[in-house]
Structure 1
Amino acid sequence: MINSEYLDVFIDESQEHLQAINDNLLKLENEPDDLSIVGEIFRSAHTLKGMAATMGFEDLAHLTHNMENVLDLIRNHKLQATSAVLDGVFAAVDDLEAMVVDISSGGDGKRDVTDAVRMLELIEKGESEVAATVAVEEIAEKPQSSNENFEENYDEFELTVLQQSQEQGYMAYQIKVSLDENAMLKAARVFMVFEVLEQVGEVIKSNPPAEQLEEEKFDQSFLVTVLSKKDAEEIKQRILKVSEIVEVIVQPIDVQKLGSKEKQAVEERETDPNSDEAKQNVVKKENGTGTQKKATEANKTIRVNIERLDVLMNLFEELVIDRGRLEQIASELKNSELNETVERMSRISGDLQEIILNMRMMPVEQVFNRFPRMVRSLSKDLKKKVNLEIIGAETELDRTIIDEIGDPLVHLIRNSIDHGIETPEKRRQLGKPEEGTVILKAFHSGNNVFIEIEDDGAGINRDKVLEKAISNGIVTEEDAAKLSDQQVFSLLFASGFSTADKITDVSGRGVGLDVVRNTFESLGGVVSVNSTLGQGSVFSIQLPLTLSIIDVMLVEVQDEKYAIPLSSIVETAIVSKDDVYSAHNQKVIDFRGKVVPLVFLRDIFEVPGGEVEEDFYSLVIIHKGEKVAGLVVDSLIGQHDIVLKSLGNYLTEVFAISGATILGNGQVALIVDTNALIK
């Protein structure tokens, strides 16, 4: 079954169920008495077990089955959901995740789960060290459900069917079928039993109803009412041939006796003003009908392979290029009908562009939901108490960006917990709560998404950072004295920089923050950090919404055209050459009370041709975090939507160029990487 066409669906749904189990286990640890959470975990585990067994992944199904047993004890008040017990369950989930990852990468999903199974079995018995502190409480036997009582109630229609069938020579049987308690695919067994029964007669009722049986919402047994001309023993033997059936009881129904009994019961219920039937009758009279139901809107979704969306995006990018070409032709020909058609096409393609971009958008929750579990494990390893708060998980980003931000965010969160949050003893001495807090927040602002990691830990020691930076040769003592707090904190992102006193498994090896910055900047993002000693730190990441189709300002230098992303532009300006000064061998201007250095694109990109003889400079003021610069160009063309295309594998090291685009006239315009131009 491993090469089955359903494998992709299995992998997607398994990952969703494992994430749900992780999330709910973390909730359960905080609310150990909330059995509704246990029910959610149990349902996810049960579904996962069934899917794994169906697909033939035996180790996965076996381990999930043992995990179910522990959850069942918690659900039935026979085991307390202590942190120690949940550690064992979390360990099992780690194995399950590893198996699903192996399957998704083309493996067979096999894994030695002996230790995990043994731990779960010991937890069940209360014999392991993990379970030693768990108080096992015996509870009184619950009243049996209707199917365990082996009694069935029939409505008026069902009684009529039974009576008429008896007149035609059929026997009515009530059959109780019990499954093996270790049966993995209960719904499949039910289906096979029903298939047997339909060969010998007709099923008129089941308890629980068929829908619940299909969803495995029953214990180990269920009741079926069958009409047949076969004798009871033959029916029993046929059912017993189905695997994992341990008991079958076939009992004939006395239809006449049952009819009089049911009639009496109905009369009693209808005359009792507190009965459900009496209340329903009142409702029926008031509403005129008892069948009116409130319409519910179903959330209809469909899974689409991301490769199809990529193909759709590429085709639309070509359409955007042709749209630009049509707009240029229409403006040159000055034909009113052509202009109207092109304008209409531009509006429609604009709406289409928004829809396609939204289709590619995913909530950052896809990345954020892995962090609570990571924080729990890390805080235990470091013997710290840490509470992770997640805000704005519904904020959406382009899928290509979502794919890239997970690892750098892991670095930042680990950094906050290891370097930022103090030990409980240290926090007590400082008058802080023992439990530190890390806040992971995402929000939209303009055409950008901001992600912030904030902690209430020790903050960044400015002097210690400077001392380390000087000793590593990153800055000189003379330069260090002139640095602002922001500039000092930015030294943390220098390659190989670390303030850790000792190397641990978590940090201190001098890798991490430089990788974080490079990754985010390659996505067109900006990383900044702010900190107050003794109070905490905030790492802020600014990211573009999408990397595929972006708004740019087209500029011209000689005959070459360049595109500057609007997200990097503060404003455009024209300044007189008389207002340009020189400072430290750098041309600067006084722009709104701030000294802004000028960057001449002609010099940066070595554009051939002399300088245009004008008395003024055309400027595009750009920013990177708090830093600002002015790009000097020959002329400003205007704002455009452009398609971002890669320069390919041969032009990966081109300075200050992040890609290219094709304009409406077929000319190629290079896209300026403004982050590289601001030091």
Structure 2
Amino acid sequence: MDTTQYLGVFIDESREHLDVLYNQLLQLEKQPGEKAVIEEIFRAAHTLKGMSATMGYTDLANLTHKMENVLDGIRYEKIAVDTSLIDLLFEAVEHLESIVDDVENGGAGTKDVARIVDLLDRVEMGESIQTHDRKPAPAVEATETVTLMSVGGLDEFEISILSESEGRGYSNFEITVQLRKDCLLKAARVFMVFEVLEKLGEVIKSSPSVTELEEENFDQSFTVLLVSNMSKDDIYQNVIKVSEIEDVTINAFSIAAYKEQQTAQSETTTAADQEAETTTSEDSSSKTKKAVNKTIRVNIDRLDVLMNLFEELVIDRGRLEQISQELKHQDLEETVERMTRVSGDLQNIILTMRMVPIDQVFNRFPRMIRQLARDLDKQVDIEIIGAETELDRTVIDEIGDPLVHLIRNAVDHGIETAEERKQAGKPEQGTIKLQAYHSGNHVFIEISDDGAGINKEKVLAKALANGVVSKEESLLLTDQQVYELIMTSGFSTAEKISDVSGRGVGLDVVKNTIESLGGRMSVDATLGKGSTFSIELPLTLSIMSVLLVELGTETYAIPLSSIMETAIFSKKDIMHAHNKKVIDFRGHVVPLVFLSELFDSTSSVNQEDDAYVPIVIVRKGDKLTGLVVDSLIGQQEVVLKSMGQYLTNTFAISGATILGDGRVALIIDSNALVR
């Protein structure tokens, strides 16, 4: 049966089932006896097994079948759930994911799953598998030979070195190192592995090449050929100590077997092979065509061009609307009205094409926190709120690494050990809360923890010692400004360097990345109670609905998404509290911002004969602020234009727009005005 037409559906559905397995295994660890969770995991594994068998991916089907047997034992209480078992099941799911990745990249969907299958068999038979059993030293017999397919062809010089080493009693090894998926600095990890290997022997060849490894031109694994007089177990134990290493596979390499294989390959390259290769190529091409029928990958640059063209259309649409209102021509008004409806639908499609849920970034963090907490011997839980919040694709692609830095920082620096939390009267398990929400034309992401907080005195002392601030400047800093010193380059308060943090890199990189996206980052903390890192990111939606308001002779635009309500208030209702003007809005004290004073424009608000003032109530999260204007003009769709390189960081202004009559109106960033 030709299954290539179902490849796209298979990959998409496999991803969904893998997500279910990951998430439900985390839940199973918290609730080992919860039948509903076990049933959900069993269903996902069973469905994945059936799909894999139908598509002909034997390794995938075999591994899910073994998982199914273990899950069946859990379901009928024959197998007890403990941390070691959860670790083993997680590793099995990681193997499943790597096979699906291989299928998606055009591979055959094969992987050596013998070790993990053996461990699952042992669990099914009632053996206790300890955590250290997950990655034993590779048990490869000395007589085993490897064809070196992963490293590629050898030149005469390399063959002579390998032959000579065997004659002198040395051993040749092919070593494949798999980095963890959340590894941030791959080139640095490769350097550390090479440094270890060079102490154990001589590296003859690597794949990819050293240059490609330095430039991080590889996925998550690389292979080296090593000549050494050390045992496989010693090599394994030394390499696996390097942090962020997922797995190390070591096989004996025989140069004689390599030569035989090369000879056999050259002799069997016949016309039939070439014909088969052509057929395979055609099948692959056909497979690709059938797989892309469902979805089409479009370069983001093309979407940018489409967006720019539509922006010009929106500007012209606004101009036509104004002309039709002035001329009062019936046919023209009807045509413009129809054009407005059609372009509005087109606008919604274009804007949503670029938007994806932030859950694509968030969904990997529970696994990462679980492993990180175990490495640091801490108890940490994560709470995710607002994962369905959508953000522009270009922003989604950039914020993954900054968020990883912040979460690792929260687990390492923020959350205390179980003993420390117990002494402080806290629950032994710490909590990290990851929250995303929309506010106006921005998305806010908050990473908060209930840990130790930030020691203000310690931060200030370190800043003075490093020359970040002078003693005179330090006296004028607010608490918030002191906390934000930790985001300066090379700043670290860690007492010792660890694999997680303490090298003085991270938060400054995070801040620079966020600012390069047009966003902002802030820190707040309470010593002994926890810290909160807040990130504000633009939606990068160039077209938005705004309320046009008037200040004297000038027109300004306020994004409609941040407006809660508009109202007319009597000047007599304006009160004073803490040297600020406020109003009572539905039982809430709301501070006022007089935009005419802020932007230094001529206003009629302060004239004595004006008894009433229009106020626009805007919100940011659960905070409200009233913006006092001269008059309200009306709602309109506008195009957000950049202020240019000479007008960056303009307070409370996020950009400008061109109105229907050709005038320029500034767009107010209401989030900057909410206190």
Q: TM-score if structure 1 supplies the norm length? A: 0.56
Partners of 1:397 and 1:118 lie apart in 2 by 50
- The one-letter amino acid paired with 1:349 is S
| Deviation digits for residues 121-151 of structure 1 (CA, Å, limit 9, x no counterpart) | 977999646889xxxxxxxxxxxxxxxxxxx
SS for the counterpart of 1:562 is strand
Give the aligned length: 499
Partner in structure 1 of residue 78 of structure 2: none
- Whether 2:546 is the aligned partner of 1:552: answer yes
Find 2:662's aligned residue among 659, 666, 678.
Answer: 666
Cα distance between partner residues in 1 of 2:541 and 2:514: 14
Instruction: State the Cα distance separating 1:435 from its structure 2 match.
Output: 5.5
SS at match of 1:419: helix
- The yes-or-no answer on 1:619 pairing with 2:615 is yes
**1:537-574 per-position Cα deviation (integer Å, ceiling 9, x unaligned):** 66666766553222221111122111112233332222
Report SS of the residue matched to 1:647: coil
Find the counterpart in structure 1 of residue 179 from structure 2.
Answer: 91
Q: Could you tell me how far apart the structure 2 residues matched to 1:332 and 1:452 are?
A: 48
Q: Tell me what 2:317 maps to.
A: 323
Identify the match of residue 40 of structure 1 among 96, 107, 110: 96
Alignment partner, residue 642 of structure 1: 638
Deviation at 1:605? 2.1
Q: Distance in 2 between matches of 1:413 and 1:673?
A: 29
Give the 3-state SS of the residue equivalent to 1:418 in structure 2: helix
Pick aligned residue for 1:346 from 316, 331, 340: 340
For residues 210 and 655 of structure 2, what CA distance do their matches in structure 1 show? 34
Residue matched to 1:302: 296
Q: For 2:234 and 2:517, locate their aligned partners in 1 and report how far apart those are by CA, in whole Å.
A: 53
Structure 1 stretches of 5 or more lacking a match? Answer: 1-12, 54-63, 133-178, 216-295, 481-487
How many angstroms apart in 2 are the aligned matches of 1:125 and 1:460? 42
Q: Quick one: structure 1 residues 196 and 591, their matched pair in 2 at CA, closer, same or farther if it must change by over 3 Å?
A: closer
Evaluate the alpha carbon distance shift between residue 43 and residue 540 of structure 1 in structure 2; reply closer, same or farther with a 3 A threshold.
same
Residue type of the partner of 1:74?
I
Q: Conserved in 1, the CA contact under 8 Å of 2:92 and 2:116?
A: no
Q: How far apart in 2 are the matches of 1:115 and 1:198?
A: 29
- Per-residue CA deviation, residues 311-359 of structure 1 (Å, 9 max, x unaligned), is 1111111111111111112222222222222122111111111111111
- How many angstroms does 1:661 deviate by? 0.6
| Aligned ranges 1:557-568 → 2 under 5 Å | 557-568=551-562
Alpha-carbon distance, 1:371 to partner: 3.9
Task: Give the aligned residue type for 1:344.
Answer: R
Q: 2:576 & 2:277 partners in 1: Cα distance?
A: 94
Aligned to 1:654: 650
Deviates more, 1:623-632 or 1:306-315: 623-632
For residue 673 of structure 2, the aligned residue among 649, 661, 677 is: 677
Q: How far 1:36 sits from its partner (Å)?
A: 6.0
Displacement of 1:117: 7.9
Q: Distance in 1 between matches of 2:669 and 2:275?
A: 70
Check conservation: 1:502, 1:508, Cα contact below 8 A. Answer: no
1: CA distance, partners of 2:670 / 2:531: 27
Matched ranges for 1:58-457 at <5 A: 71-75=113-117, 82=131, 90-91=178-179, 128=237, 193=272, 195=274, 300-368=294-362, 371=365, 375=369, 378-379=372-373, 382-388=376-382, 393=387, 395-427=389-421, 436-442=430-436, 451-455=445-449, 457=451
The equivalent residue for 1:629 is: 625
- Alpha-carbon contact 1:495-1:510 (below 8 Å) kept: no
CA 1:128–1:196 in structure 2 vs 1: closer, same or farther (change >3 Å)?
Answer: same
Tell whether 2:567 aligns with 1:573. Answer: yes
Give me the whole-angstrom Cα distance separating, in 2, the residues matched to 1:95 and 1:557: 49
Distance of 2:372 and 2:409 partners within structure 1: 11
The separation in 2 between residues aligned to 1:95 and 1:412, in whole angstroms, is 13
What CA distance in whole angstroms lies between the structure 1 residues aligned with 2:227 and 2:558? 61
User: For 2:515 and 2:653, how far apart are their aligned partners in 1?
Assistant: 16
Indicate the SS of the match to 2:88. coil
**Comparing 431-440 and 360-369, the one that deviates more:** 431-440
Question: Does the CA-based 8 Å contact 1:618-1:634 persist in structure 2?
Answer: yes
SS of 1:301's partner is coil
Question: What is the CA-CA distance between 1:388 and the residue it aligns to?
Answer: 4.7
Q: Which amino acid in the other structure matches residue 402 of structure 1?
A: I
| Cα contact 1:568–1:623 (8 A) shared by 2 | yes
Distance 1:180 1:318, change over 3 A: farther
In structure 2, what is the Cα distance between the partners aligned to 1:669 and 1:101? 54
Q: Deviations over 1:466-518 (max 9, x none)?
A: 9999x9889989x99xxxxxxx7897457769995747562696984997599
Q: Give the drift of 1:462.
A: 10
Distance (Å, rounded) in 2 between the aligned partners of 1:102 and 1:377: 31
1:43-67 Cα offsets, whole Å, 9 max, x none, are: 257559987x9xxxxxxxxxx99xx
Look up the SS of the partner of 1:302 in the other structure. Answer: coil
**Closer, same or farther: CA 522–306 of 1 in aligned 2, 3 Å:** closer
State the Cα distance separating 1:465 from its structure 2 match.
10
**Counterpart contact for 1:523–1:547, Cα < 8 Å:** no
User: What SS class does the counterpart of residue 646 from structure 2 fall into?
Assistant: helix
For residues 645 and 194 of structure 1, do their structure 2 counterparts lie closer, same or farther at Cα, with a shift above 3 Å needed?
same
Which whole-Å CA distance do the structure 2 matches of 1:577 and 1:101 have between them? 73
TM-fit CA distance, 1:528:
8.4
2:595 maps to a residue whose letter is L
Q: 1:495 to 1:605 in 2, by over 3 A?
A: farther
CA RMSD of aligned residues (A): 6.0
Give the Cα–Cα distance (whole angstroms) in 2 for the partners of residues 521 and 627 of structure 1.
27
**Structure 1 residue 363: Cα displacement:** 2.6
**CA 1:500–1:96 in structure 2 vs 1: closer, same or farther (change >3 Å)?**
closer
Pick closer, same or farther for the CA change 1:49–1:76 going to 2, 3 Å.
Answer: farther
In the TM superposition, 1:491-640 aligns within 5 A as: 492-493=483-484, 502=495, 506=501, 512=507, 519=514, 545-581=539-575, 586-607=580-601, 614-625=610-621, 627-640=623-636
Given that 2:522 and 2:535 are in contact with CA atoms closer than 8 Å, whether structure 1 keeps it comes out as: yes
* Structure 2 partner of 1:173: none
> Are residues 75 and 540 of structure 1, via their aligned partners in 2, closer, same or farther at CA, if it must alter by over 3 Å?
same
Cα offset, 1:664, TM superposition: 1.3
Letter in 2 for 1:308: R
Question: Structure 1 pair 384/118, CA: closer, same or farther in 2 (3 Å)?
Answer: farther
Q: Which has the higher contact order (CA 8 A, sep 6+)?
A: 2
Q: 1:91 is matched by which residue type in structure 2?
A: L
Which of the pair has more CA radius of gyration?
A: 1
Instruction: Provide, for residues 614-659 of structure 1, a one-character-per-residue CA deviation record: whole Å limited to 9, x for no partner.
Output: 2322222334445543322211111222211101111114332211
- 1:381-415 per-position Cα deviation (integer Å, ceiling 9, x unaligned): 64434455656645421124324533543343134
Shift of 1:306: 0.4
The answer to whether the 8 A contact 1:450-1:541 is kept is yes
Task: Write out per-residue CA displacement over residues 578-599 of structure 1, whole angstroms, 9 at most, x where no aligned residue.
Answer: 3334556544444445444433
Q: 1:127 to 1:303 in 2, by over 3 A?
A: closer
Instruction: Determine the C-alpha separation between the residues in 1 that align with 2:292 and 2:337.
Output: 37
Stretches of structure 2 that go unaligned for 5 or more consecutive residues are: 1-10, 27-66, 68-83, 123-128, 137-175, 188-207, 242-257, 464-469
Paired residue type of 1:673: D
Partner deviation per Cα, 1:249-272 (whole Å, 9 max, x = no partner)? xxxxxxxxxxxxxxxxxxxxxxxx
Residues 102 and 109, structure 1, Cα contact 8 Å, conserved in 2: no
Q: State how far apart, in whole Å, the 2-side matches of 1:180 and 1:34 are.
A: 39
